[in-house]
Structure 1
Amino acid sequence: MPRTSGEATMNAVLPHAFTDALARHGDRVAVTDPDASLSYAELADRARAAAARLAPYGVAGDRLRIGLYATNSTDYVVGYLAALFAGAVPFLADSAFGPFELSRIAEDCGLDLLIHAPDADVEQVTAEVLTAGGEFGALTVSRVRRSATPPPPLLPGTEVCRFTSGSTGRPNCIEFSGTAVLAAARNWAEGTGLSAQDRIACLAALSNGLAFNTSLLAAFLPGASLHLSRGLPTASRIVRLLESTGATRLVAFPALYESIVRRSSTGGFTGVRAAISSGAPLRDSVREEFTRLTGVPVHNYYGVAEAGPLTYAADGDGTGLGTALPGVELIADEQGVRVRSESMGSRYLNAPGVFEERIDAEGRYLTGDQGHLVDGVLHLTGRTGRLVNVGGRKIDPIEVTEVLREAAGVLDAVAFEAESRHGEPILAAVVAVGPGPTAQSLRSHCSAVLPSFKVPSVLHLVDRIPVNSIGKPSVERLRRLLADAQSN
C-alpha cells in the first residue's frame, strides 16, 4: 500500500539532514547576502519559526505544496528550509519565469502557497496574502488560486521539486526524493573536496541545478558558508562579493567568466582557490584568459537537471568536463551520453511518461548530449536533441517559433541558435512579416507568453523565410542573413 502523507512526512530525509547540519555547526556563518548574515543556529531558529507559520495551512490527506519564486537571498534559504521543516514539498521555480509559465506551474502541480517577492507579478496565480515579512523577511507568502483540476499525486518519497524547460510553455516539474537530494550534496562535497573552511560565492539561482546541487545542502553538510549576491551579476558585483566575503569558491555560469575577461577584472580573487563553471560550454580562450588574469583555475562541472551533478574536472586544466563524481555511472557512445546516478530525479509530475521514455533498459538516463570518454574524462561534442543552451538554460526553439507565428501580421518564423559578437550562444529568430509588426512589438508578444530568457536576443524581420531545396528553412542562409544585417 502507498504511504499516507503523514508517513511520507515522518520518513522525510531532508529535514533530518538539515537539522543535523544546523545543530553541528552552531555559531559558524551559514549564509549571507548583501543585507543579512545568518549563523547556522540563527538559520535554524528562523526556519523553525517560519515553518510554524506555514503549518496551519496544511492540506488534509496531502502534503502542502509551496512554490518558491524569488531571487537568491538569506530569506529564500529560510523559506526553503521552512517548507521542509513544515512537512511541505517546496517547488523551486526560476524567478525568470513570467506570469504565463508561473500560472501553468501552479495549475499543473497543484500549488497551495507561493513564497515570493512582494513586487513579483503573481496576480494571475495568487488569491490572498497570508503573511508579509516577519519570519520570511522581505518575502511574502500568498495563497494560490484553486484550480478546477485536481492536482496530480506526488510520489510518496518526493521531497523537492525543480523545473526544466518544457516544449509547450509548461516547464517540466522534476520530482526528487530526499535520498536523491542528499546523495547529490554528499557526493558533490566528497568529489570536490568541499570543507568547513570553504566560503562559496554563488552567482547562480538556487532554483538552478548548478547552485542547488553545489551550494545549498552541499555547503551546509561540512559547515561551509554560502554567500549570495543580489541583482544582475555583473563583473563589478562579483568582485565586491569576493572581496567582502573572502570567498574560496566561485560558482557561476560561463557568461560571467566571459564578462570578467572582457572587463579585465582582477580584484577580489586572492583567496579564491577554485572557480566552478557549468550550464553551457566555456570557451578555452575565456578559461585560459580568466586564469591568466586571476590566477584561479576554472573547474568544469557537468550535470543535467534530471540526474543531478555528474562530473567534475578536479585539475582545472580545461581538457574536458572531468571524471564521474561518486555515485555516478557514465557511458558515452554512439547512442549519446547516458547516466545513472544516486541523485537522479524520479519522474516529471506534470508530464506522465515523458521522463520514463528517456530511461533505457538498464535504468540509465539519456541526456541528449553526444560525447566520448578519454581516460574517464568526459568530452562533449554536440547534442542529440534540438534544445538550445543559452546561459545554462535549455530553450526549445520550436516552442519560441510557434509563439512568434501566433503574433498578428506574422507570416512565418524560425528560431535557432546563433552567436553573439563575443562568440556566446544566443537565441535568434528570423520572422517573415506583413505590414504592421516591428521587432519591438514581437518582443512584447513573446514576453507576454514566455519567460525573459526565451525571448530571442536578436529578431530580424524579412519578407519571406529562405528555404533549401526540399522546402525547409535553411538555417545556414538564416545565419548569413543575421550576419549581413549585423555588419551593416
Structure 2
Amino acid sequence: MRLAAPPSSDARDVLRALRAAVFGAGPAVALGGAGLPDEVPPGTAVVVTTSGSTGVPKSVALSRNALLASAFATSARIGEGAWLLAVPATYVAGVQVLVRALAAEREPGVLAGSFRPDAFAAAALGLVSHENGARVPTYTSLVPAQLQRLLDAAEEDPQVAEALRSFERILIGGQALPPATRERAAGLGARVVRTYGSTETSGGCVYDGVPLDGVEVAIVDGEVRLTGPTLADGYLGEPARTAEAFPMDAARVRWYRTGDAGELTDGVLRVTGRLDNVIVSGGVNVSLDRVEAVVRGIPGLETAVVVPVEDATWGQGSAVVAVGAGQADALLRRVRDAVGLEVGRPARPSRVVLVEEMPVLSSGKPDRALLRRRLAAGAA
C-alpha cells in the first residue's frame, strides 16, 4: 500500500486524507514523519511518527481496523454525536477525533489557529445543533493544560463556561489530570473523562481507569500492558523494536508494553508513574536523563540530580536538587535557559532546590526516591 503525507498539517487536509485512507482506497497517511518508505504493509491507514516514551522518534503503523475499533468502542462507552477538534490533527488524539466524526458520518468542527478560550467557546457553541427535535450530543478531546486555561477563562467569561458545559463528554488525555483541575471542572458542570493510552493503542483505550470494550489490561512485573483490537501493527521498518514492545504471551495473545507502572484494583487501572526516567509534561515526553546531562554541564551543578515533580498546569515537571548555598532563583534562570536551548522548552525544570547534603543509597548513588518523597512533602 502506498504511503503519502497530506498536503499540509492543516486539519482539513488531514481530514481529507483520513477519509480516503480509513474509509476509502487510500493511500495511507503519513503524519509527523520524514524519510518514510513509499510502501507500507497492506491494511495500514495511518503512520504517526512520535517521540514515544524514550524521546527517540518512532513511526507507529495503525491499521484502519484498529482505528475503527477504537472509534466504535469510544462511541459505545460515551455515546455518538458531533466532535470538535481542538488538538493537533497530526497527533493520535487529533486523528481519533476526526475518525470518530467520520465514523458517525458527521463533519467535525475544527478550532483553527492557536488555542484560545474565546475561539474554543465560539467553535463549541457553534457546533450545537438539533435533529428531530433533540439536541445532538457534542464531544471534544483536550490535554489538561487546555482544560486549565478554559477553567481560568470561565471565571470571567460566561460564554467559556457555557461552552464547557455544552459537551456531553470532554476527553482528557496526554498526561495526568491533577485532581484539583478535575474538581474545578466538575464544579462548573463540565463532564470530564480521563483517558489513558498511547499512539500504539490508537489513542486512549482506558477511560476513567476502565478499559474500553474489547481492551484488556494486565500488570506484569509492575508494568501496565494492554491488548485488544486497537493495538498498532508496530513500528515501521523496526521489527526488533516491534517485537520488544508487542510481545506474544503463552496463549498467543499480543500485548503492548506501556513502560508505565500501575495497579489494578477491582478492574480499575491506576497508573502510578513511568518505569523509566521519562515524564510527560504538557503532552510532551521529556527524558530527565537528557535534562540532567545538560544541568550537570553548568558550573557548580556537576553533581545535581533532576527528579520529577507534580505540576498543576502541565501534569508533570522536574526539579533540580543540588548541594550548595546561594541564590536558587539565579541558578534556576541559568538552568532553564540551558535546558530550553538543548532539550526544548517543555523540558525546563520548574525549580532549583539547594541542600546541604545529597542523600545517597548504600551504593553511593543519589537516593532519587527519597528526594521525590521529600519534594512531594514540600522539602528536600
Task: Give the TM-score of the pair, scaled to structure 2.
Answer: 0.75
Correspondences of 1:83-482 after superposition (within 5 Å): 87-93=26-32, 105-106=33-34, 110-111=35-36, 154-166=40-52, 170-194=56-80, 198-213=81-96, 215-246=97-128, 248-263=138-153, 264=155, 266-293=161-188, 295-309=189-203, 311=205, 313=207, 321-332=208-219, 335-349=222-236, 351-362=238-249, 363-404=254-295, 411=302, 414-420=305-311, 424-429=315-320, 443=336, 446-447=339-340, 449-453=342-346, 455-458=347-350, 460=352, 466=358, 468-469=360-361, 470-475=363-368, 476-477=370-371
Deviation at 1:257, TM superposition (A): 2.4
Q: CA deviation at 1:388?
A: 0.8
Q: Percent identity?
A: 24
Aligned counterpart, 1:140: none
Tell me how far 1:167 sits from its aligned partner. 6.8
Give SS of 1:266's match. helix
Q: Which residue of the partner structure matches residue 73 of structure 1?
A: 11
- The residue matched to 1:291 in structure 2 has which SS? helix
Structure 1 residue 277: Cα displacement: 1.3
Per-residue deviation, 1:430: 5.4
Change in CA separation of 1:76 and 1:328 when aligned onto 2, cut-off 3 Å: same
The residue matched to 1:225 in structure 2 has which SS? coil
Q: Which runs of 5+ in 2 are unaligned?
A: 129-136, 325-329
Instruction: Give the Cα–Cα distance (whole angstroms) in 2 for the partners of residues 412 and 152 of structure 1.
Output: 47
Q: Deviations over 1:85-111 (max 9, x none)?
A: 795443222xxxxxxxxxxx53xxx24
After TM superposition, give the deviation of residue 67 of structure 1 in Å. Answer: 7.3
**Aligned residue for 1:97?**
none
Distance in 2 (CA, whole Å) between partners of 1:307 and 1:258 is: 26
Q: Counterpart of 1:208 in structure 2: which amino acid?
A: Y
The structural deviation recorded for 1:324 is 2.1
Alpha-carbon separation, structure 2, partners of 1:467 and 1:300 = 36
Give the match's secondary structure for 2:60: strand
Return the letter of the residue paired with 2:163. Answer: G
| Cα pair distance change 1:348/1:169, threshold 3 Å | same
Q: Deviation of residue 307 (structure 1)?
A: 1.8
What CA distance in whole angstroms lies between the structure 1 residues aligned with 2:306 and 2:336?
A: 13
Q: What 5-or-longer segments of structure 1 have no aligned partner? A: 1-7, 9-62, 94-104, 112-150, 314-320
Letter in 2 for 1:229: L
Find the aligned partners of 2:339 and 2:314 in 1 and give their Cα distance: 24
Distance 1:462 1:174, change over 3 A: same
Cα distance in 1 for residues equivalent to 2:218 and 2:19: 35
The Cα shift of 1:164 comes to 3.0
SS in 1 for 2:56: coil
The 1-side partners of 2:112 and 2:357 are apart by 41
**Residue 310 of structure 1: how far off its partner (Å):** 5.4
Please give the alpha-carbon distance, in whole angstroms, between the structure 2 residues aligned to 1:359 and 1:305: 13
CA RMSD between the two structures:
4.0
CA distance change for structure 1 residues 211 and 153 in 2, over 3 Å: closer, same or farther? closer
Alpha-carbon contact 2:217-2:225 (below 8 Å) kept: yes
* Letter aligned with residue 91 of structure 1: A
Q: Please say if residues 413 and 465 of structure 1, whose CA atoms lie closer than 8 Å, have aligned partners that are also in contact.
A: no
2: CA distance between counterparts of 1:73 and 1:473? 46
Note closer, same or farther for the CA distance 1:339–1:225 as it changes in structure 2 (3 Å cut). same
Taking a change above 3 Å as real, the CA distance of residues 428 and 239 of structure 1, as seen in their structure-2 partners, is farther
3-state SS in 1 of match to 2:124: helix
* Deviation (angstroms), 1:452: 3.9
CA 1:484–1:91 in 2, change beyond 3 Å: closer, same or farther? same
| 2:307–2:371 contact (8 Å) kept in structure 1 | no
Q: Shift in Å at residue 220 of structure 1?
A: 0.7
* TM-score normalised over the length of structure 1: 0.60
Preserved CA contact (<8 Å) 1:169 1:450: no
Aligned residue for 2:126, secondary structure, equals helix
Offset at 1:423?
A: 8.6
Letter in 2 for 1:256: Q
Distance across 2 between alignment mates of 1:407 and 1:67: 43
- Letter aligned with residue 390 of structure 1: S
- Contact 1:310–1:324 (CA under 8 A) maintained in structure 2: no
Q: Which amino acid aligns with 2:175?
A: A
Aligned ranges for residues 4-19 of structure 1 at < 5 Å?
8=1
Q: Is the Cα–Cα contact under 8 Å of residues 306 and 344 in structure 1 kept in the other structure?
A: yes
How far apart are the structure 1 equivalents of 2:17 and 2:43? 21
* CA distance in structure 2 between the aligned counterparts of 1:442 and 1:310, rounded to whole angstroms: 34
